[in-house]
Structure 1
Amino acid sequence: MVQTRDSRFPDATETGTVAFRGGQTWYRVTGDRRSASGRAPLVILHGGPGAAHNYTLAMANLARAGRVVVHYDQLGCGESTHRPDAPADFWTVELFVEELRTVVDQLGIGDRFHLLGQSWGGMLAPEVVLDDASGIQSLTICDSPASMPLWLQAANELRDQLPAEVQQTLQRHEAAGSTDDPDYAAAMKVFYDRHVCRVVPNPPEVTDSFDQIEAEPTVYHTMNGPSEFHVIGSLRDWDIVDRVGEITVPTLVVAGAHDEALPYVWQPFLDNIPGSRSHVFADSSHMPHVEQPEEFLDVVGGFLAEHD
């Protein structure tokens, strides 16, 4: 994949790789890691699983305030090593928790950093905190469920609101096991345009991430399944509700008013994490950082500044 310059985002100041599990994890740094600005770096966990960092590039604009922003492609996608032949049990939450710690330690920021996760990344981020909260100044959870059964409930609720012919197409191909059919993809696009990204046509960084999942679906299909509401992968029973009360780092939860992550899927974070707070973006769905970037930067940037 070729990294092309986009004037909407600040240029990377550094890219490189970190050795991990016999492969390489690629990272992108925006901002000067040697700067003594006093602002803790922000590390971003992308979604998917397997979507790569591209669609979160708007968050690199948080570096304009003098903060280092670190993106990386999780193993199995993007610029990192792909493992299409890895057994299904290779792809675990624990793998990706370990990868995050490997990246921050190799970059020398593991003793002080903010953590932000979007979608699947916002499921992974609290798992990181619960495993080891050392060095983590704050946690930002974007558009993410506290429970995959709750996520499926919301997805099916929204699916029932789609036009009848779209629902029929989805049902027909799921029953036949033909979710790779173009008609299924077209039906899914109706859902995506309503509840995943309402900027249509999608910006190139969003299209890049969708294209990467399509080209290399191993991680997404193994952990999630063929679509957002046909979840048959290893994450299908994932649930962190009973554990999030153990999180003590300052926590912000954000989502869009039209998000596929309906409020009840992220409410357990607010109900159980002491002092946590939320913000809902009125004109966004699952990608407020793309759909309402200025407000997103203000809300998240302000929260980070409070906890440096």
Structure 2
Amino acid sequence: MSIPKTTEGEVDFSYPAAGKPLKTWYKIVGDLSTGSRTPLICLHGGPGVEHSYLAPLADLATLFSIPVILYDQVGNGRSTHLRERDGDKEFWTDALFVAELDNLVAQLELTEYDVFGHSWGGMLGSRFAVRRPKGLRRLVIMSSPSDIHVWVAVQNELRKELPQDVQDALTRHEEAGTTDSKEYKDAEGVFYDRHLCRLHPQPEGVLNALRSIEEDPTVYMTMYVNGPSEFHVIGTIKDWTITDELHKIDVPTLLINGRYDEAQDTCVLPFFLNIPKVKWVRLENSSHMGQWEERERCCQIVGEFLTY
């Protein structure tokens, strides 16, 4: 089996509110010029991480000859950072990232393409798809909520299943404002070991993505947390929802989540009920990182959906 060609590059992205020129870094695994398969654009989560934890999706290029396009959203990874916009809630919205995706499609001259979105990336992908953009052929939404309020409620229900001493540590430090303490971080780690990634040790791609938040927390802290912990969303997406618009998605859509996922079935169900052409698959041995936890099965499911 031949190793697919890999190309890296940047595209210019003009977004006047940024106050400076922006660049979006991308990597293509496969060959866009062959025309054999529709390329797949992959949207990473966070908001505020980077593409590396989606690396298993590159297997699609080998297994199904699907060109895979990975990229870092602005503010993240190898794309332009905007630390000076820390806390700017008017700037950091999904409109910015929809515009960036539009620009990437145009700059790469894609006339037909599929979109895969994981977690926040699935939220972004659904926001992109309800606009019925020209060229979009199929959509994959993995481990994503259609409404952030449901997401938060689910996280706090999962929290109640943690050992009591872990719950007590979380509550104690949240009330004391000491969520940067080692004990609090360790308690959060118990939650993540159950519901973010159940592999030990965690894959380097996952660790790299988490480190990227520490290196530049601008996007994550402004859009998502901007508060005491993962269990409290008070950033710019605190009232985010797409549920009432899902009926506008007119392309075949695949939903994926894991049995132990942060995105429990309650989070995913509105996609299934409201998107007209939809299929839903649950990975029984996965949490939030099914592309790692069940790498072969996940890629097989996605590849078959995109090529049937």
Q: Same fold (TM over 0.5)?
A: yes
TM-score, L = length of structure 2: 0.93
**Counterpart residue number, 1:107:** 108
Moved more, 231-240 or 279-288: 231-240
Determine if contact 1:47/1:121 at 8 Å carries over to the other structure: yes
Question: How does 1:132-281 map onto structure 2 within 5 Å?
Answer: 132-225=132-225, 227-281=229-283
Determine if contact 2:75/2:219 at 8 Å carries over to the other structure: yes
Determine if contact 2:52/2:208 at 8 Å carries over to the other structure: yes
Structure 2 CA distance for aligned equivalents of residues 213 and 12 of structure 1? 30
Q: Deviations over 1:125-157 (max 9, x none)?
A: 010011243111101000000100100110000
Question: How does 1:48-63 map onto structure 2 within 5 Å?
Answer: 48-63=46-61
Determine if contact 1:12/1:28 at 8 Å carries over to the other structure: no
Gaps of 5+ in 2: 16-20
Residues 276 and 27 of structure 1: CA distance in aligned 2, closer, same or farther (over 3 Å): same
Structure 1 CA distance for aligned equivalents of residues 126 and 232 of structure 2? 24
Deviation for aligned residue 1:214: 1.8
Structure 1 CA distance for aligned equivalents of residues 190 and 292 of structure 2? 18
Q: What SS class does the counterpart of residue 56 from structure 1 fall into?
A: helix
Determine if contact 2:132/2:248 at 8 Å carries over to the other structure: no
Structure 1 CA distance for aligned equivalents of residues 197 and 102 of structure 2? 30
Q: What SS class does the counterpart of residue 279 from structure 1 fall into?
A: strand
**Counterpart residue number, 1:72:** 71
Q: Which runs of 4+ in 1 moved over 3 A?
A: none
Question: How does 1:88-103 map onto structure 2 within 5 Å?
Answer: 88-103=89-104
- The residue type paired with residue 154 of structure 2 is A
**Counterpart residue number, 2:8:** 15
Q: What SS class does the counterpart of residue 130 from structure 2 fall into?
A: helix
Deviation for aligned residue 1:166: 1.3
Q: What SS class does the counterpart of residue 141 from structure 2 fall into?
A: strand
Q: CA RMSD in A?
A: 1.3
Moved more, 257-266 or 178-187: 178-187
- The residue type paired with residue 68 of structure 1 is P
Q: Deviations over 1:26-54 (max 9, x none)?
A: 100100111131x1000000000011000
Moved more, 12-21 or 278-287: 12-21
Q: What SS class does the counterpart of residue 51 from structure 1 fall into?
A: coil
- The residue type paired with residue 17 of structure 1 is E
Q: What SS class does the counterpart of residue 27 from structure 2 fall into?
A: strand
Structure 1 CA distance for aligned equivalents of residues 162 and 51 of structure 2? 29
Gaps of 5+ in 1: 1-9
Q: What SS class does the counterpart of residue 88 from structure 1 fall into?
A: coil
Determine if contact 1:115/1:136 at 8 Å carries over to the other structure: yes
Deviation for aligned residue 1:231: 1.1
Determine if contact 2:4/2:61 at 8 Å carries over to the other structure: no
Aligned sequence identity (%):
44
- The residue type paired with residue 123 of structure 1 is M
Determine if contact 1:50/1:220 at 8 Å carries over to the other structure: yes
**Counterpart residue number, 1:30:** 29
Residues 153 and 223 of structure 1: CA distance in aligned 2, closer, same or farther (over 3 Å): same
Q: What SS class does the counterpart of residue 108 from structure 1 fall into?
A: coil
- The residue type paired with residue 228 of structure 1 is E
Determine if contact 2:139/2:253 at 8 Å carries over to the other structure: yes
Deviation for aligned residue 1:12: 6.0
Structure 2 CA distance for aligned equivalents of residues 173 and 15 of structure 1? 43
Structure 2 CA distance for aligned equivalents of residues 92 and 11 of structure 1? 35
**Counterpart residue number, 1:81:** 80
Determine if contact 1:58/1:289 at 8 Å carries over to the other structure: yes
**Counterpart residue number, 1:6:** none
Q: Deviations over 1:67-121 (max 9, x none)?
A: 1100000011111111111123211100000001111111111x20000100000
- The residue type paired with residue 249 of structure 1 is V
TM-score, L = length of structure 1: 0.93
**Counterpart residue number, 2:18:** none
Structure 2 CA distance for aligned equivalents of residues 12 and 90 of structure 1? 36
- The residue type paired with residue 34 of structure 1 is S
